[in-house]
Structure 1
Amino acid sequence: MCLPGTFGDIYDIEKFVSSLDGVVKVVKSQPSELSTKDLAVLRIPNRVTEEYIANNIEPVFKTKGNVRLATYFPSVNMKRTRTPENEERNSVGCFAMFGSLELQPEVREVVASIVERLKTSSRKSDSEFVAVDLWLEMLDQKGCQGFDKNSAVYLTQSRWDNSLDSLKDLFPKTYRKELIMPMDKKQKFLGSDSSEYEKVIDFYVCSESDVFVLAISGLFYAYVPGKRIGSGKTKIVVRVDSASAGSEPGNYISRYVSKKTHMAYSCFC
């Protein structure tokens, strides 16, 4: 496996390589004897079966000698599976999720500073720190508002928009990255070429919050709960239509938690 160019800017490469010793061979850059022109590029859906690998990947690898795999996600599925084949595959996924990635110190410090500021703001009013994966187009749709007005609310939405004013009226302590990130880090982590940094910061801040609220399903919803479940932070709230949810609070809890369907649960059995 060859690491992408930006990987080392975000994660500790030495930690990653050493943790995978004996599992898979990792190289930091593409070997000089390989030419990108000769590589066969295969688009592979996430979490494929051994049969799929045998039928679609191995024949090309045997013919070409080298392949580049581009993973795509036809659906977001992080549910636990019980077959022997899937249990073995899940064990690799568990290792990748909890045992191989460690942020570079500078990125870790930025995340820690944001999390600490939000937790401090919430503690002052004996409230919770709530992280919301928010898309602006979701604001005109009604959803759950069951939090103390003094809760510190972190939005993954990077830049402020006038449509967010109504949310700030409800929760005055509403923040986004550009307001609470250390000044000397903004140019690097919020610049025009910093989208990968922003995604990583959102992921780790949402993983550390007291409560995580999801506005819409997607890959973020697949991976943040896994990280949270691993650290025991299982307050994960999904946005649902209030009329269909009824009055039961449990209707707002992610099924990943209420039904323990996320594959992360299989990592701690």
Structure 2
Amino acid sequence: MAVDLRQVMAAFLTFSMFIMLGNMIKKDHIDPLLEPLPDTPRVQYDVLKISKPGMVKLSEVKYGPWKDNDEAPRPCWKKPTFKGKEHSNGYIFFSLTHGPEFHASQIANAVLIARQLGATLALPDIRGTKLGEKRRFVEIYNVDKFIASLNGVVRVDKNPPAESSNEKKLHIVRVPNRVSEDYIASNIKPIFQSKRNLKIVTYFNSSPKIMEKENHQSNAYQCLATFESLKLQHDLQELADSMVGTLRSLSAKMNGRFIAIDLRVEMLGKKSFHETDAENKKCFNAEEIGEFLKKIGFHTDTTIYLTQTGWHSSLNALRNVFPNTFTKDAIMPADEKAKFMDLESNGYEKFIDYYMCAQGDVFIPAFPSRFYGGVVGERISLGKTQIFVPGKKASESATDYIPPYIAKKGHFAHSCFC
């Protein structure tokens, strides 16, 4: 049978085109996943993205002191309700300040004070680190869920009358963290009866040692406000959940588990966190964290999330031992990064870090801080009590590094859950 050279050439060219297409796909989509991580690690987000963190199904493999999460504890409080006809005697104003680790306490104080005084709670704004810098509550938190969570407890007004909210005319009252009912009755109520509208400012003890000794008593209003009222607004919540899902999809050998570490380079230089006695050292750098994780049994394939924004060369020591170490920059989609991490949106990353540390299967603070205490409270409410505090002890047992917050139930949250 005669062979048509034109058909042979056409077949050859078609075959060649398929080979070229295959090489292009391999180069663009397969090879990048096989290359070692660069100094600033990034992941192929579009390849790894999953719809929900809980959808990952992985084989049961354990490489380290992992434990299953406890069942979420039952709240010890019963949601209180108004008795009789609702009426308002005035307004309580306040602002959320400093960062997410302070906000639940500020909300709890405001709710308890408004409840005790029969006042209406004005929706707060959120103040930034610079003078005059502030943003609306709705930019960070879900307003509808906030109001719904407090329904029947206090009235919340999104738009109080202008004459009531004039800051120049408002009387300011400073109150301690987790203010008591007796304090409100003796120190705030007389002023409120005279002024009718107040702005409250919550002050906190700054020393980590004092923080551990703060009043751990609570009541239903403070518990409810602390653990039920603040939820991230939809877009921010969706982004944070997708980042959790990405980390879980990267953690195949760990059954979808990952460690969240509060490690920020700028905090490591603060002398107030360091002790002169090496044995009592409280602040640990990336290299020391890596040594600690190896000592208590975590495998080098463990996936780690760091709260550091942007990669820093000092973190290489940790990534050399644990290659699957990421910052938020590496696992956030480019379009979301432009929205939530540009210069104009400074501050969103704090809320992302707070959520990621609360959701991690293990949480490790590199230094003592209010952030650490706040995250622990969130984790207790979720039943995620696997927390280790690094130390210079010789022990290789992870249980020797469980903080008193958990081991001795020394955290305020334990008084809210059974």
Normalized against structure 2, the TM-score is what?
Answer: 0.58
Is the 8 Å Cα contact of residues 388 and 398 (structure 2) preserved in structure 1? no
Could you say which residue in structure 1 is the equivalent of 2:84? none
Which residue does the alignment assign to 2:361?
A: 210
User: How does 1:12-51 map onto structure 2 within 5 Å?
Assistant: 12-34=142-164, 35-51=166-182
Q: 1:259–1:21: structure 2 CA closer, same or farther, 3 Å change rule?
A: same
Cα distance, 1:131 vs structure 2: 0.3
Alignment of 1:139-158 (within 5 A): 139=285, 142=288, 144-145=292-293, 146=296, 147-158=298-309
Choose the corresponding residue for 2:324, options 170, 173, 192: 173
User: Residues 4-51 of structure 1, C-alpha deviation per residue, up to 9 Å, x if partnerless?
Assistant: 143211221111112212212211234212221111122222112233
Deviates more, 1:118-127 or 1:205-214: 118-127
- The one-letter amino acid paired with 1:160 is W
Are 2:388 and 1:242 equivalent residues in the alignment? no
User: How has the CA–CA distance of structure 1 residues 104 and 33 changed in structure 2, closer, same or farther, with 3 Å as cutoff?
Assistant: same
Shift of 1:60: 2.5
Structure 1 stretch 137-146 or stretch 93-102: which is displaced more?
A: 137-146
Deviation string 1:68-103 (CA, Å, 9 cap, x unpaired) is 11112115358784xxxx442xx2232123322332
> Matched residues in 2 for 1:87 and 1:48: separation?
9
State the SS of the aligned residue for 2:211.
coil
RMSD: 2.3
User: Which residue in 1 is equivalent to 2:352?
Assistant: 201
Q: TM-score, normalised by structure 1?
A: 0.88
Q: Does 1:68 align with 2:68?
A: no
- Aligned partner of 2:310 in structure 1 is 159
Judged with a 3 Å threshold, the aligned counterparts in structure 2 of structure 1 residues 80 and 248 are, in CA distance, closer, same or farther, namely farther
Provide the C-alpha distance between the structure 1 equivalents of 2:361 and 2:286, rounded to a whole number of angstroms: 25
Give yes or no for contact 1:78–1:263 (8 Å, CA) kept in 2: no
Name the stretch that deviates more: 103-112 or 48-57.
48-57
Check conservation: 1:189, 1:197, Cα contact below 8 A: yes
How far apart in 1 are the matches of 2:196 and 2:254?
61
Quick check: 6-15 or 25-34, which moved more? 25-34
Q: Aligned pair count?
A: 261
Question: For 1:233, what is the secondary structure of its paired residue?
Answer: coil
Match of 1:108 in 2: 237
1:191 and 2:342 are equivalent in the alignment:
yes
1:238 match: secondary structure: coil
Q: Which has the higher contact order (CA 8 A, sep 6+)?
A: 2
CA change 1:231–1:150 in 2 (3 A) is same
Change (3 A) 1:166 1:95: same
Question: Is 2:139 the partner of 1:9?
Answer: yes
Unpaired runs of 5+ in structure 2?
Answer: 1-120, 126-134, 269-283
Task: Check conservation: 2:286, 2:317, Cα contact below 8 A.
Answer: no
In the other structure, the counterpart of 2:21 is none
Q: Which residue of 1 aligns with 2:406?
A: 257
